[in-house]
């Protein structure tokens, strides 16, 4: 018997079914032009979420300073947008310069809008970051988190991380396999699909605004 699924709310990201055990979601690489969206997303986090994301109760000024310091040319920033083109989840993959002969590593940080918890957005962003880090020749993904940040540490452990606890703070290290042709193709396909999804959402928003202006007159 066929059933019709209810239409997702406007604040939910598009989630067509993929070949994974959980829904595919469009994760788009963010650019310099997306800096205002990143700031808006992080400022919308409540006190608890800011505390877990930054390891302290970050003020608006501290959040703004963090966003202004993101180097989009060096690092990679990924985002999930809802149908209103609002950034509802984002990850920052900060690449660290390694001395000659040392293994390359990158640090991962993530935040998800509170009303979208439980949709595995953090888990998907982590897997996405792993893929991109591999393709940049990174051997180890590093996560610094408060020891009480159970969801973040659980995501890292599920990825095979070694977690070391140092009092109130913990560090998780995830060893990454080397890149290969399949990993590069997967990244290209995912990026292309996410870009198409974003352009469609943007066009739908444009048409909606046009129709609203016509009806208003």
CATH of the domain at 145: 3.40.630.30
42 inside domain: yes
19 inside domain: no
164-173: long-range contacts at Cβ-Cβ below 8 A with a sequence spacing of 24 or more? Answer: 169/55, 169/144, 169/145, 170/144, 170/145, 170/146, 171/142, 171/143, 171/144, 171/145, 172/142, 172/143, 172/145, 173/140, 173/141, 173/142, 173/143
**Residue 32 CB-half CA count within 13 A:** 3
- The Cα–Cα gap between 30 and 42 comes to 14
In tens, the pLDDT along 184-210 reads: 999 999 999 998 988 998 888 888 777
**What spatial distance separates the first Cα and last Cα of the chain, rounded to whole Å?**
45
- The Cα–Cα gap between 95 and 115 comes to 30
Question: Which residues have CB under 8 Å from 212's CB, separation 6+?
Answer: none
Contact 35, 63 (CB under 8 A): no
15 inside domain: no
What is the pTM assigned to this prediction?
0.82
In tens, the pLDDT along 48-75 reads: 999 999 999 999 999 999 999 999 999 9
| pLDDT (0 to 100) of residue 96 | 81
In tens, the pLDDT along 139-186 reads: 999 999 999 999 999 999 999 999 999 999 999 999 999 999 999 999
- Better pLDDT: 77 or 14: 77
- Number of Cβ within 10 Å of residue 43's Cβ equals 13
101 inside domain: yes
| pLDDT (0 to 100) of residue 217 | 57
Structural domain boundaries, residue 72:
28-208
16 inside domain: no
Specify which residues 78 forms β-bridges with.
29, 91
Q: How many domains does the chain have?
A: 1
| pLDDT (0 to 100) of residue 206 | 82
At 19, the pLDDT band (50, 70, 90 cuts) reads very low
Which residue stretches of the chain are H helix? Answer: 35-43, 47-54, 60-68, 121-135, 150-158, 181-216
| pLDDT (0 to 100) of residue 138 | 94
Contact 189, 131 (CB under 8 A): no
159 inside domain: yes
Specify which residues 109 forms β-bridges with.
92
- Number of Cβ within 10 Å of residue 144's Cβ equals 14
In tens, the pLDDT along 94-119 reads: 998 765 656 789 999 999 999 998 88
8 inside domain: no
7 inside domain: no
């Amino acid at each position: 018997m066929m059933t019709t699924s209810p239409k997702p709310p406007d604040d939910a990201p598009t989630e067509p079914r993929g070949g994974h055990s959980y829904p595919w979601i469009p994760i788009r690489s963010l650019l310099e032009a997306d800096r205002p969206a990143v700031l808006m997303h992080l400022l919308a986090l409540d006190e608890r979420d800011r505390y877990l994301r930054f390891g302290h109760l970050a003020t608006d000024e501290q959040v703004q300073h963090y966003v202004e310091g993101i180097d989009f040319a060096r690092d990679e920033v990924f985002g999930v947008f809802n149908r209103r083109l609002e950034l509802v989840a984002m990850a920052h993959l900060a690449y660290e310069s390694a001395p000659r002969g040392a293994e390359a590593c990158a640090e991962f940080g993530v935040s998800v809008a509170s009303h979208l918890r439980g949709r595995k957005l953090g888990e998907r962003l982590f897997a996405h970051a792993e893929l991109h880090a591999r393709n940049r020749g990174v051997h180890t993904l590093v996560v610094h988190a408060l020891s009480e940040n159970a969801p973040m540490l659980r995501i890292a452990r599920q990825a095979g991380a070694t977690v070391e606890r140092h009092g109130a703070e913990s560090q998780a290290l995830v060893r990454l396999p080397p890149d290969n042709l399949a990993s590069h193709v997967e990244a290209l396909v995912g990026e292309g699909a996410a870009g198409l999804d974003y352009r469609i959402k943007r066009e739908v928003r444009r048409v909606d605004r046009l129709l609203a202006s016509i009806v208003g007159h």
